[in-house]
Amino acid sequence: MSVANIREVFPYLRVRNADAAISFYTMAFGAKEKYRLAEPSGRIGHAELMFGEFIVMLSDEYPEYGILGPEAYGGTGSSIHLHVDDVDAMTKQAAVAGAKVTMEPTDMFYGERTAKLQDPFGHDWIIGSQNEHVTPEEIQRRFQEMVSRNQPE
């Protein structure tokens, strides 16, 4: 089976309050709203945000169609990884906007400075900046070393 016909992949977030989420993502990450489709009640059926050159789509929950955000499940099974120029500055900016920092910026074995956040709508975000060029082989070696250090004796 070939995936040659795939041209783009878009994260699609479902949230309990899309209008508030759009405001948060704008303040926290500098996202720019491309457009939104809203019902007369204000419920947002679809919106697109530009994160730099990349689109993230989102909508309000539609429980009548089984469309629910992380708050309905008590968590999320995925995360979005943003690469930025300055992970420390972006982490602070997101925290000021209301994100919960779940891991402070840390230099990681795979050559990236990384932080983890949870937004007010239950989505997990990984914020990273490359701080070292590391080959896949070296990443694997470091990973094995780290795992072996953390094994119970």
Domains of the chain: residue spans and CATH: 12-149 (3.10.180.10)
CA distance 129 to 74: 29
92 is written with which tokens?
């602070």
Q: What is the pLDDT of residue 35?
A: 96
pLDDT, tens digit (0-9, with 9 covering 90-100), for 40-99: 999 999 999 999 999 999 999 999 999 999 999 998 888 999 999 999 999 999 999 999
Q: Are 127 and 88 in contact (CB under 8 A)?
A: no
Q: Which residues pair with 56 in a beta bridge?
A: 49
Beta strands 32-38 and 12-15 are unpaired
Q: Give, for 37, the enclosing helix (H) or strand (E).
A: strand 32-38
pLDDT at residue 2 tops 90 = no
Average pLDDT over residues 18-37: 97
Q: What is the pLDDT of residue 140?
A: 93
pTM of the model: 0.84
